[in-house]
Structure 1
Amino acid sequence: MNGDTQDAVTRRRKIGRTDLEVTALSLGTAPLGGLYHELTEDEARATVDAAWQAGIRFFDTAPHYGHTKAEHRLGDALRRHARSDYVLSTKVGRRFVPRTAPDDGSEGWAAPLPFQAIYDYTYDGILRSFEDSQQRLGMIDIDIVLIHDIGRVTHGEKNAHYWRQLTNEGGFRALDELKQSRGVKAVGLGVNEGAAVREAMAEYDIDCALLAGRYTLLEQNTLDDLLPECEQRGVSILLGGAFNSGILARGLDADAQGDLKFNYGDAPKEIVDRVARLERICREYGVALSTAALQFPYAHKVVATVLMGARKPEEVRENAASFATPVPSALWDALRAAGLLHEKAPTPQ
């Protein structure tokens, strides 16, 4: 890993109004839980090791990933390092209990562990989830705790029920306790929808939100509402899903045809067409689409880090190099002129 790559990766921004800082590039661990494809224990360890060697010092996980598998794997890989040398986040809102029926594969996990989720956003549920995560990780200190998948995208008509668990049954109060007496430095949401973040900010003083997608080369409507409100309130965005589930990582490569994913599902035609336009302009300027996709979100000052998912060391190294690759400003101008960038979108310098 050369010095320029290290410098790009290790830049730091604060989380909200806290003193906690995270590296510009970070590692999300859904792939370590077997998202779409299983990987071995050795492959998982090697992937985390490659992230460390690249200078990444912020790692995000969740009980949901592989039905607790990712937490086990991440903890095993990180416990060799001094705890003060990195930032760690996990999520609450699901408690995992022994599975009573076979997994049907609908959530996309390959070979998950034999546990199933119970949604629980109550005071007791959140504290219990936190303590379970401590045990799986083999660590007491967890820096950031995120309420996972609250919102209509996940819960539909049941969302009001789960929201009341946060507001009326002590869920938000549990976050206060975690910050006041459990060593947690920042709290927030880990969701796939901007509306949930805005609703949470109206009820509770969050520090950050891990937002999967919603501010990428393909999605920028959050510039009209969510991102300005985050900036006003001092809330940081931890930007996940910069590749929108993969379509911006590989583009429309012939090998990928028939397996083009957008936001965890098959990419619709209008998205495929938009990616083709993005890819054509990037090619004219000699820039890989994945490079532009990875660098674009970090240009916005409320984005504290860009989380990448990787299932092997080569992917980590490629993404770290992409994050540091010089991109001509003319590319961003061309994308804006083609109507592919929001008029308010800041671009990397």
Structure 2
Amino acid sequence: MVEATGSRVTQRREIGKRGVKVTGLSLGSAPLGGIYHDMPDAQAIATVDAAWDAGVRFFDTAPHYGHTKAEHRIGDALRRYPRDQYVLSTKVGRRYVPRTTPYDGSEGWQDPLPFQAIYDYTRDGILRSFEDSQQRLGIVDIDILLIHDIGRVTHGERNAHYWKQLTEGGGFRALDELRSSGAVKAVGLGVNEGAAILDAMADFDIDCALLAGRYTLLEQATLDDLLPACEARGVSILLGGAFNSGILARGVQGDLKFNYGAAPQEVIERVARLEAVCRVHGVPLAAAALQFPYAHPAVATVLTGARSVEELRENVASFERPIPAELWTALRDKGLLDLRATVPKD
């Protein structure tokens, strides 16, 4: 279900069949947790304020971001606004305890808080994590709860062990209890791989999934299986990572990160080709990157991170910018866009 408005940012789409409606553009909080670069508290709050002023009303966070820092900052910012006017999501799967070993920087967080994660997808672990998040946020009413980073990409051979915690250790049961009691309105996954979402859909009734990347101008393999399955089941995709960690934001002259690592040469070359087509049609690459995934009927919102008020406003402008239909036709003709992909229509 879609509520039409004059703004793509403020357009509302429903999450699954739960009555929760999110804005077209939403704010993710990994940058507020200090991914790659940290920021002062005042800058974090100003960025949330800029999102609010632009009409964004869905905010996502996680204990993992800055080792609980992002939840504190999002909570500090959002508690100043009427609770019934925004949608909030956070994640479970990691419990944070005081750090006993030095942080080695390998996760990319700059100046995280002094806590370390214990993976725990059991019923008790999820309920404990949920309560901890409520306290860090200073907000009791969390709308959407997502199982964070389950899957083979994160856990490798250990994934079977953690998946068993969900199916036999009561993890999925905890989500159902929270949803049935009204403690949360919708539940799902927050992952970097489509396979984990398909696995979850086979074992449990999820409402949504936050998918980082995997359906972008650079990646459309999820059209083979995941997106059709989501459409059939009424599972909403909250699409994060539309810039594939940065390379689609600035192009080949900008941040050459792709999916949290250094961009391989073939990706750089493909981005250069995408840029060239966008240039011919007078469209910034970032605008095409943000608007493309939102056209798919399974995608309820596009989550973007922002490090500053300026970046937030750039993202809003990119999401609202008119794009001629000829651009999408040209991308298809040059083999840069899957022929099955739904393209935006202004």
- After superposition, the C-alpha distances for 1:56-102 in whole angstroms (9 at most, x for unaligned) are 00000000000000000000000011100000000000000000011
State the partner residue of 1:308.
304
Q: State the SS of the aligned residue for 1:106.
A: coil
Q: State the SS of the aligned residue for 1:63.
A: coil
Question: Partners in 2 of 1:290 and 1:321 — Cα distance?
Answer: 10
For residue 18 of structure 1, report the CA deviation from its aligned partner.
1.2
State the partner residue of 2:49.
49
- After superposition, the C-alpha distances for 1:192-244 in whole angstroms (9 at most, x for unaligned) are 00000000000000000000000000000000100000000000000000000
Determine if the alignment matches structure 1 residue 16 to structure 2 residue 16: yes
Question: Partners in 2 of 1:328 and 1:196 — Cα distance?
Answer: 35
For residue 7 of structure 1, report the CA deviation from its aligned partner.
1.3
Q: Which amino acid aligns with 2:84?
A: S
Task: Determine which of 328, 332, 335 is the counterpart of 1:336.
Answer: 332
TM (norm. structure 1) is 0.97
- After superposition, the C-alpha distances for 1:20-75 in whole angstroms (9 at most, x for unaligned) are 10000000000000000010001100000000000000000000000000000000
Q: What is the root-mean-square deviation in Å for CA atoms of aligned residues?
A: 0.9
Gaps of 5+ in 2: none
Determine if the alignment matches structure 1 residue 108 to structure 2 residue 104: no
Question: Partners in 2 of 1:137 and 1:274 — Cα distance?
Answer: 41
Question: Partners in 1 of 2:177 and 2:31 — Cα distance?
Answer: 31
- After superposition, the C-alpha distances for 1:118-166 in whole angstroms (9 at most, x for unaligned) are 0000000000000000000001100000000000000000000000000
**Pair 1:53–1:6, CA change in 2 (3 A):** farther
Question: Partners in 2 of 1:183 and 1:329 — Cα distance?
Answer: 43
Task: Determine which of 279, 286, 294 is the counterpart of 1:283.
Answer: 279
Determine if the alignment matches structure 1 residue 317 to structure 2 residue 329: no
State the partner residue of 1:190.
190
Q: Which amino acid aligns with 1:339?
A: G
Question: Partners in 2 of 1:324 and 1:148 — Cα distance?
Answer: 30
Task: Determine which of 260, 271, 290 is the counterpart of 2:256.
Answer: 260
Question: Partners in 2 of 1:95 and 1:261 — Cα distance?
Answer: 28
Gaps of 5+ in 1: none
State the partner residue of 1:138.
138
TM (norm. structure 2) is 0.98
State the partner residue of 2:162.
162
State the partner residue of 2:218.
218
Q: State the SS of the aligned residue for 1:62.
A: coil
Q: State the SS of the aligned residue for 2:275.
A: helix
Question: Partners in 2 of 1:205 and 1:181 — Cα distance?
Answer: 16
Q: State the SS of the aligned residue for 1:81.
A: coil
Q: Which amino acid aligns with 1:8?
A: R
Question: Partners in 2 of 1:72 and 1:33 — Cα distance?
Answer: 9
For the Cα contact (< 8 Å) 1:207–1:236, is it kept in 2? Answer: yes
State the partner residue of 1:61.
61
Q: Which amino acid aligns with 2:343?
A: T
Q: Which amino acid aligns with 2:289?
A: A
Determine if the alignment matches structure 1 residue 39 to structure 2 residue 39: yes
Q: Which amino acid aligns with 2:275?
A: E
For residue 328 of structure 1, report the CA deviation from its aligned partner.
0.3
State the partner residue of 2:77.
77
Question: Partners in 1 of 2:162 and 2:224 — Cα distance?
Answer: 27
For residue 6 of structure 1, report the CA deviation from its aligned partner.
7.1
For residue 182 of structure 1, report the CA deviation from its aligned partner.
4.7
Question: Partners in 2 of 1:202 and 1:182 — Cα distance?
Answer: 24
Q: Which amino acid aligns with 2:25?
A: L
Q: Which amino acid aligns with 1:239?
A: L
For residue 183 of structure 1, report the CA deviation from its aligned partner.
2.1
Q: State the SS of the aligned residue for 1:282.
A: helix
For the Cα contact (< 8 Å) 1:6–1:54, is it kept in 2? Answer: no
State the partner residue of 2:294.
298
Question: Partners in 2 of 1:265 and 1:273 — Cα distance?
Answer: 16
Q: Which amino acid aligns with 1:348?
A: P
Question: Partners in 2 of 1:330 and 1:183 — Cα distance?
Answer: 46
Question: Partners in 1 of 2:93 and 2:150 — Cα distance?
Answer: 8
State the partner residue of 2:241.
241
How many correspondences in the alignment? 341
For the Cα contact (< 8 Å) 1:6–1:55, is it kept in 2? Answer: no
- After superposition, the C-alpha distances for 1:302-336 in whole angstroms (9 at most, x for unaligned) are 10000000010001111101101000000000000
Deviating beyond 3 angstroms after TM superposition, the runs of 4 or more aligned structure 1 residues are: none
Determine if the alignment matches structure 1 residue 27 to structure 2 residue 23: no
Question: Partners in 2 of 1:242 and 1:234 — Cα distance?
Answer: 22
Question: Partners in 2 of 1:12 and 1:53 — Cα distance?
Answer: 16
State the partner residue of 2:177.
177
